[in-house]
Structure 1
């Protein structure tokens, strides 16, 4: 049987794999939005896209331990289950899957990503994408959705998951545009950890890079300009740039041709790590 919270009459709360199998038996045209909770407008946009394109929508909330290369980062990841469920109820989501670790990791295996893909975040976060791919593959096999909705803010994640699942599953990955605040900063659960002045810094970096991308069309020596921009951002107070690179959006190879390319950045403000692409 489903375990329903009394205050959520229409939205089915699925607490384990048995609930999931019973709820989704014979289900077709199902949209899936994987999340780690602390829902914001970015997640809401994914859910709305799913509701438009699919007959039913399921949202998972699962803070996946295997994708954290830093245990402190895992334990400090923002959580607000009550608020998340309230948001999902208002959105009239059909199913919410709240599995425990044993439901997901009931057997062991090792995921490997190709050496050529150990770039950008994969270069600096050992084991991160292996954990992401693993959990996404497990969720996809359990839920068997028609479509999976993922945001472009985590572009490398989107790229790697899509390439892996297209060989393993008939589920289609739907990429959705990055949702930003009124100042151009990509929405992220990690933004909750930023103080007001740090939030202002993050917004200024987004503005700098957005303007920078626009002028690159008219410039030469693009690689040199990117290095100069990296130094400029690195000189901001409490900021440390991990990488700033331009890569082709179809294969993530380094590129100096602005056409079909994106600028990727990862940086720290104090100890908070943020990523974006433009």
Structure 2
């Protein structure tokens, strides 16, 4: 399948959208203003939430992984749409559907949902920024991407990355999506600030996703979002198991 975008205007607009997404992400990742502690998982991991307009929540997850030599590996796992399958059993698939440049993509992810009859998916623009040798930013945001889902014609508005609302394109989606067998999610803003320190890799994860759960209480919505962010605990376990118990040589 030919993935390289041949439309220079679309590529330029995608870059502009993700530049705004990067700035928004850094604001929420580096500021503690208005965040409320949701849960302390350990002395190395905790989650927070803050309210945004139009009943939108912004989640923040902070974790330290004490394997600094695994920095590049962690960056590669989080950048690869299918990378989290190494530790996330709910991820059905992740793939690149369009390439604007090596660090600017359109991706699709689908995941299992145990609270509805439908598994879920989303399309999003995704960008990677190498800030320094020890710091990388990965950011995602959904836009007006027509995937021809006949049962989900709702027009979504990105309330955080507003430039995404003028980005319009079509994708050749799978039969399951076209027939409405998967429930559509929408990423207002999601990303990772990954920093290598002397003794650990620090990850600050921002997550604001419309899960498209039709009827759910506020506490359940926050629980669902917290569990999604908490998948980083499984990444920590994956890295820990890999380097604590290396495979025996034959």
Tell me which interval the TM-score lies in, with the shorter structure as reference length. Answer: under 0.3
If the length of structure 2 is used for normalisation, what is the TM-score? 0.26
Q: Which has the higher strand share?
A: 2
Task: Give the structure with higher Rg (CA).
Answer: 1
If the length of structure 1 is used for normalisation, what is the TM-score? 0.24
- Higher RCO (CA < 8 A, seq sep 6+): 2
Q: Which has the higher helix share?
A: 1
